[in-house]
Structure 1
Amino acid sequence: MNSVVVALQQLQLALNAEFADAPGLEQLSVAISLSDASDALAWLTSQRLYPQFYWQQRNGDDEIAALGALRNFETLDAASAFLNDYADQPTLRITGVNAFSPTTSCLFLPRLEWRRIGGSAYLYLHLYSETSLQDDAREARHFLEQLLPAKLLPSQRLNCVGEQHIPTQPEWHQLIERATTAIEQHELDKVVLARVTDLQFTSAVSAAGFMAASRRVNLNCYHFLMVFDASHAFLGSSPERLWRRIDCALRTEALAGTVSNHPDEHRAWSLGQWLLKDDKNQRENMLVVEDICQRLQKSVGAIDVLPPQIVRLRKVQHLRRCIWTELAKPDDAQCLALLQPTAAVAGLPRDVAHQFITQYEPFEREWYAGSAGYISQRQAEFCVALRSAKVTNNMVRLYAGAGIVAGSDAAEEWQEIENKAAGLRTLLTKTTF
């Protein structure tokens, strides 16, 4: 097996082959060895080429580090169409993020991809041109020459000098009152409202170091980092799957209903048992289940809803019901249209809740509550972009939301979003990460 350095040398040699002076797409690959020192995130974020995209499946079995864009796609529809044009290349993956409004995406076919599935890892180098693969091979050689050795992920001492909540706590209480009034008047059944916390530091924040710190402590989560350029990034550690597709098998879930976690095992278990029995949280979860099943029913076969589970995270615990079914045919664009935004991040009815959010939430969600992941011919997987943050130089914007239903209490919901935001916030307000 090869180290990353040796694998890159082999890819350089492979580029000396004769490529057609014609349009086309080629995928070159080299297996790489894994060791305790292998860290795709460290390798990726040592580079000074963009975009960069890091993604790790919540069970840790699937990991992607994608670097440089050969093709950009502003919608998942366009990305799917591209893959269909190259159906003879089943291992191609297109990676990135979809915005909260799913008609906008930032997806790309990477020039270079570090990919690990289980205990096997590969480097994939892609060549693509609408005119000449021969010319693109020269571009690829230049790209590889710019790569830098992997460095240790940075540690930082951060000094926070400014903090602002949007909305403020009094404004949040007014917003919840407006929402519960609308629910009482049967204008909607549920709406998920969010808050941002803007933190200002005395120095630029390392998105890579922030991601690494979150990955260490926020277990049982998807981890994702989209670095747009040297100054702008979006990242998060999310417990929630939007969908996973293998051929036509579809797996999604309803993750809704929250209680705090506790370091004492018995206390944490007791809180989890309360969550399983609490009427408000059960209603909130079942609203999401019913909505997902209604959206899917015309496009899939039989739908299986599994019994409820408790998902225990670092700061909170959630109620989850998994939903399994079969698609009539593989169609990731359809999955995105059907499932995003779910009732767990928007509300019910979806269009009415979306309109309420657009009208009354005092900030733009952008990538928050969208999705992060990849598509390919055989399989695809996206997590919901929750427990997330936007990093812009020395500013960090933290996002957190809460599902508002009949009987919701503004003070309790404020505490819930405090608990959710704490999963990332505590990493920034420690002396170092």
Structure 2
Amino acid sequence: MHSITTALESLMRHLSQEIPAAPGIRIYDIPFPLNDAFDALGWLASQPVWPQFYWQQRNGDEEAAVLGAVAAFSSLESAQQFLRQYDNHPDLRIWGLNAFEPQRGNLLLPRLEWRRCAGAASLRLHLYSDVSLREDAAQAMAFISSLANVKPLPALRLSLTGEQNWPDKAGWTNLIKLATQTIAGEELDKVVLARATDLQFSQSVNAAAVMASSRRLNLNCYHFFMAFSADSAFLGSSPERLYRRRDAALRTEALAGTVANHPDDHRAWQLGEWLMKDDKNQRENMLVVEDICQRLQGCTQTLDVLPPQVLRLRKVQHLRRCIWTELNQADDTLCLMQLQPTAAVAGIPRELAREFIQHNEPFEREWYAGSAGYLSLRQSEFCVSLRSAKISANVVRLYAGAGIVRGSDPEQEWQEIDNKAAGLRTLLQMEG
């Protein structure tokens, strides 16, 4: 791994120079030639340092691996306030997760940030101190000295020893009946209900190996991975953008309406055509579009809703409508609070749907159906943290949800969440 070794040595030379004993931020960027088989995720997972965060944009153009934290934030709002204090660094990025309840986050300004954009990459080191940058430089040198050489990720040789669904199938049927009764009573238009499936294995599960396997097979997805410690992580491969902001230009989307995929292209096309014409799925998608437009109309210019597309994934296909607009003011806290949780992961009206979920789902969503990505003053991008899993030692909790509207059938919705969970579940059982 010549490139990473050379880049770290270069950073050490910078840190050995005279640095003032003053507060502030200092950034060192080292160009990173992509001339060897460097895998950022493998490098990250080899390190005995946490937190670790990995993110890849769904078209593959942008990828980042960040390690350690020089500053941590428990909400996106506090992260944004921090960035505004350092507006002479408009490309300073804070990375991490927002929970389903968007007031809560786990976001960090990393010690090291490897980032690739298209064919160019760099390794960035942050110094930050409200007392002495010189002291922080000494800590940064110790940090770099503690880093390990890259080890190959292990194969996922897993033996399943137990499984439990929250809710189980009978509980799910009752939950859907309660939801459709509530919708029939016109208290709700739609509620998105989820299931958590705990898979127990005979040994600890390597979270980065699960991420690598998912990245290889689940195409057209954002990939995100956050390791909190050696045996605790949250990861996923999500098809859905929450929002992307470039200065004041905003792009978001409605991803709702689902049908199975098929390995045969013609059969997959037929299923996609059915999805484009199906009233229940079109209605579900338009409810999300209308909700997004309503939430954004007070803080944006004209909203452009693009024609529907079918997004084909490994196990399922979705209806997607993209929405483009211009913000009156570039503000990530506003974007997050207006857009998350979307109607595609919570329901409509949003507050009533959230209350229904809180009172009736038999598990805490935590990071599931929140968002993963980065913010900076110049630009930001977050995906919705779907098709995701929480890994705690030898237990993998898979999450999957389904939009419940008038006429939803519990059996069909159970099949839909099985199909969605299969995107990660099959990875855990295919490399035995």
- SS of match in other structure, 2:251: strand
Rounded Cα–Cα distance in structure 2 between residues aligned with 1:90 and 1:11: 22
CA–CA distance in structure 2, aligned partners of residues 35 and 134 of structure 1: 34
Counterpart CA distance in 2 for 1:215 and 1:189 is 35
CA distance in 1, matches of 2:247, 2:217: 33
One-letter code of the match for 1:396?
V
- Partner of residue 405, structure 1: 405
Q: What are the residue-to-residue correspondences of 1:244-255 with 2, within 5 Å?
A: 244-255=244-255
SS of match in other structure, 1:367: coil
Q: Which residue of 2 aligns with 1:243?
A: 243
- Which position in structure 2 is the counterpart of 1:59? 59
Q: Secondary structure at the match of 2:122?
A: strand
- Measure the CA separation in 1 of the matches of 2:201 and 2:169: 22
Residues 332-351 of structure 1 correspond to what in structure 2 (within 5 A)?
332-351=332-351
Separation in 2, partners of 1:124, 1:80: 20
The residue that corresponds to 2:259 in the other structure is: 259
Letter in 2 for 1:110: P
Q: Deviations over 1:164-209 (max 9, x none)?
A: 1110001100000000000000010000000011000000000000
Deviation of the 1:36 alpha carbon: 5.5
Separation in 1, partners of 2:321, 2:390: 29
1:163-178 paired onto structure 2 within 5 Å: 163-178=163-178
The 3-state SS of whatever aligns with 1:182 is helix
Contact 2:162 2:200 in 1 (8 A): yes
1:196-249: CA deviations, max 9, x gaps? 110000000000000000000000000000100111100000000000000100
User: Whole-Å Cα distance in 1 between the matches of residues 312 and 36 of structure 2?
Assistant: 27
Partner of 1:72: 72
Q: Distance in 2 between matches of 1:232 and 1:159?
A: 19
Aligned counterparts of 1:418 and 1:112: Cα–Cα separation in 2: 38
Do structure 1's residue 375 and structure 2's residue 375 form an aligned pair? yes
Alignment correspondent of 1:125? 125
Aligned to 1:218: 218
| Residue aligning to 2:28 | 28
Distance in 2 between residues matched to 1:137 and 1:267, nearest whole Å: 59
Aligned position for 2:157: 157
The CA distance in 2 between the partners of 1:153 and 1:37, in whole Å, is 14
Structure 2 matches for 1:135-150, cutoff 5 A?
A: 135-150=135-150
Q: How far off its partner does 1:291 sit?
A: 0.1
1:186 equivalent in alignment to 2:186: yes
The alignment-based identity, stated in percent, is 63
Quick one: which amino acid aligns to residue 57 of structure 1?
Q
**Aligned counterparts of 1:222 and 1:195: Cα–Cα separation in 2:** 21
> In the alignment, does 2:389 pair up with 1:389?
yes
Instruction: Give the 3-state SS of the residue equivalent to 2:81 in structure 1.
Output: helix
> Which residue pairs with 1:89 in the alignment?
89
The one-letter amino acid paired with 2:359 is Q
- For each residue in 1:251-292, what CA deviation from the matched residue of structure 2 results, as whole angstroms up to 9, or x when unmatched? 000000000000111100000000000000000000000000
**Distance between the aligned counterparts of 2:76 and 2:339, measured in 1?**
13
Distance 2:104 2:165 in 1: 26
Deviation at 1:358, TM superposition (A): 0.1
Q: Which amino acid aligns with 1:109?
A: L
Runs of 4+ aligned structure 1 residues displaced above 4 Å come to none
Classify the secondary structure of the residue corresponding to 2:225: strand
**CA distance in 1: counterparts of 2:13 and 2:384, whole angstroms:** 40
Q: Distance in 1 between matches of 2:149 and 2:87?
A: 34
Instruction: Supply the distance in 2 between the matched residues of 1:308 and 1:394 (Cα, whole angstroms).
Output: 41
Taking the aligned partners of 2:231 and 2:267, their CA distance within structure 1 comes to 42
2:116 alignment partner in structure 1 = 116
Provide the secondary structure at the position in 1 that maps to 2:373.
strand
Q: Deviations over 1:271-315 (max 9, x none)?
A: 000000000000000000000000000000000000000000000
Alignment-mate amino acid for residue 121 of structure 1: A
Q: Which runs of 5+ in 1 are unaligned?
A: none
> What CA distance in whole angstroms lies between the structure 2 residues aligned with 1:387 and 1:49?
26
Q: By how many angstroms is 1:18 displaced?
A: 1.3
Q: Partner residue of 2:429?
A: 429
Match of 1:198, SS? Answer: strand
Matched residue, 1:9: 9
Deviations 1:97-130 (A, max 9, x none): 0000000000000000100111110000000001
CA distance in 2, matches of 1:35, 1:254: 39
Q: Would you say the 8 A contact 2:299–2:329 is kept in 1?
A: no
- Determine the C-alpha separation between the residues in 2 that align with 1:349 and 1:254: 16
TM superposition shift of 1:3 = 1.1
Report deviation, 1:91. 2.2
Aligned partner of 1:345: which letter?
Answer: V
Structure 1 residues 36 and 6: alpha-carbon distance in aligned structure 2, compared to 1, 3 A threshold: closer
Q: Distance in 1 between matches of 2:161 and 2:138?
A: 47
Q: Tell me the SS of whatever aligns to 1:208.
A: helix
| TM-score for both structures, normalised by structure 1 | 0.99
3-state SS in 1 of match to 2:298: coil
- Is residue 208 of structure 2 the alignment partner of residue 208 of structure 1? yes
**Residue 12 of structure 2 aligns to which amino acid in structure 1?**
Q
Partner of 1:299: 299
Q: Which amino acid aligns with 1:220?
A: N
Query: Which residue of 1 is the match for residue 311 of structure 2?
Result: 311
Q: Deviations over 1:139-173 (max 9, x none)?
A: 00000000111122221310000001110001100
Q: What is the deviation of 1:35?
A: 3.5
Measure the CA separation in 1 of the matches of 2:139 and 2:36. 33
Query: SS state of the match for residue 5, structure 2?
Result: helix
Q: In the comparison of the two structures, how many residue pairs are matched?
A: 431
Shift of 1:430: 1.8
Aligned position for 2:325: 325
- SS for the counterpart of 1:128 is strand
Tell me which residue corresponds to 1:352: 352
TM-score normalized by structure 2? 0.99
On the 8 A contact 2:301/2:328 being kept in 1, the answer is: yes
Long gaps (5+) in structure 2: none
